[in-house]
Amino acid sequence: MAFNEVDSPVSMFNLNVKLDIVPEPNPLDIFLRDYAERMTIPLPEEMDSIEDYDQIHCNFSGGKDSIALVLLLLYGYKVPKEKLVLVHMRVDGPEEKKAFFDWKETDEYLKYCSGKLGIPLIMLSSDISLKERIEMRGMWPSSAMQFCTSYLKRDVYSKWARSLGSGKYLCVSGERAEESSRRAKKKVFETYKHANAPTKKRYVDWLRPVHHLLETEVWELMRLAGIDPHPCYEYVSRCSCKFCIFLSPAEMAKVAELHPLDFNELVEMEKRMGHTMRYEKKNPVSLLDFVKKGALDFKFDERPCAV
Ligand code: SF4
């Protein structure tokens, strides 16, 4: 993977990072500003003024929506760059741990984005990776029990936000109404109750600033900012976990083709746990059967590690 080299201020739990980089001048800046201004809508009335927040934590997966939300805040709502931090939750544990559910390109891509945007990046993680968590529970996460998100993202962020002490913080995330009826129902603004603690003078709110944007508008913001998309978009529609439980059969087949050893490990996990990642009408569907549905011409060796 080759992104234009840009220095990135990366930090683990360290907010005192000095920005001494100057992002590349972007010839499309004027168009970006104009477009981002047109994409803004009034912020929710119940929300305090954005200037009142000490720090704004951009929930940053490296996906297009997380990039669009930063661009909209910077160029549309004119939020001072100094208030922003990119916060990434790595589901495979600290950076030195090999990527398994995370795309292997993500760590480098996040640094590229941090450099392009000129905003510090903080990588957070749990000591227990998603794979370890699944094996400990002996089951896969599901839409009804999405413990991957709650343990590896929500709890990790909340713990870190609590460690910041007193202050007023705004968490911003990139859910859009267009994506699904479930996301459409999400509030644009609410209290981040897992980290909020008024008795300790720590206030944490949650804003979804791109909730109203369409996918085409998100891509346009990125294009005008001159930011390359994460390489995973060549294969899947969303930049989420490489083996996200919500992948379509065709997407899972494609990822399996790209990462046969990792996929084989998932197949072995299913056998060990006696629990399948996917179900159809309450009937278990093995991953091998699942990928066959999406890949009529996809020739997967059921035992790619076999010699
Ligand atoms: S991307 Fe998918 S697998 Fe990963 S945490 Fe989110 S829902 Fe779970």
273 and 225 fall within a common domain: no
Distance 143 CA to ligand 1 centre (A): 10
Residue 45: both structure tokens together: 């009335």
Sorted by sequence, the CB contacts under 8 Å of residue 199 that are 6+ apart come out as none
| Tens of pLDDT, residues 18-65 | 344 555 556 568 999 999 999 999 999 999 999 999 999 999 999 999
Q: 211 near 175, Cβ under 8 Å?
A: yes
Structure confidence at residue 234 (pLDDT): 94
Q: Could you tell me if residue 3 is inside a domain?
A: no
Number of domains in the chain: 2
93 and 126 fall within a common domain: yes
The set of protein residues with a Cβ atom below 6 angstroms from ligand 1 is 91, 141, 146, 148-149, 152, 240-241, 244-246
Q: Could you tell me if residue 5 is inside a domain?
A: no
Find the mean pLDDT for residues 238-245. 95
Domain end marker among 206, 234, 262:
234
- Closest residue by CA, ligand 1 atom 8: 148
Residue 148, CA distances (Å) to 23, 105, 128, 270, 281 in order? 34, 20, 11, 16, 22
Sorted by sequence, the CB contacts under 8 Å of residue 34 that are 6+ apart come out as none
Range of the domain at 276: 249-294
Distance 146 CA to ligand 1 centre (A): 8
User: Where residue 92 sits, what CATH number does that domain have?
Assistant: 3.40.50.620
Residue 229 has pLDDT above 70, yes or no: yes
Residue of 148, 180, 183 with the most ligand 1 atoms within 8 Å of its CB, for mutation: 148
Residue 193's φ and ψ, nearest 5 degrees, are -70, -20
226 and 256 fall within a common domain: no
Q: Could you tell me if residue 1 is inside a domain?
A: no
Give the H/E segment covering residue 90.
strand 84-90
Q: Could you tell me if residue 121 is inside a domain?
A: yes
Question: In a 10 Å sphere around its CB, with 0-12 CB exposed, 13-18 middle and 19+ buried, how is residue 202 labelled?
Answer: middle
At residue 169, the 3 state secondary structure works out as: strand
260 and 174 fall within a common domain: no
Structure confidence at residue 8 (pLDDT): 52
Residue 289: both structure tokens together: 């059967």
Residue 2 has pLDDT above 80, yes or no: no
Distance 130 CA to ligand 1 centre (A): 9
Q: Could you tell me if residue 8 is inside a domain?
A: no
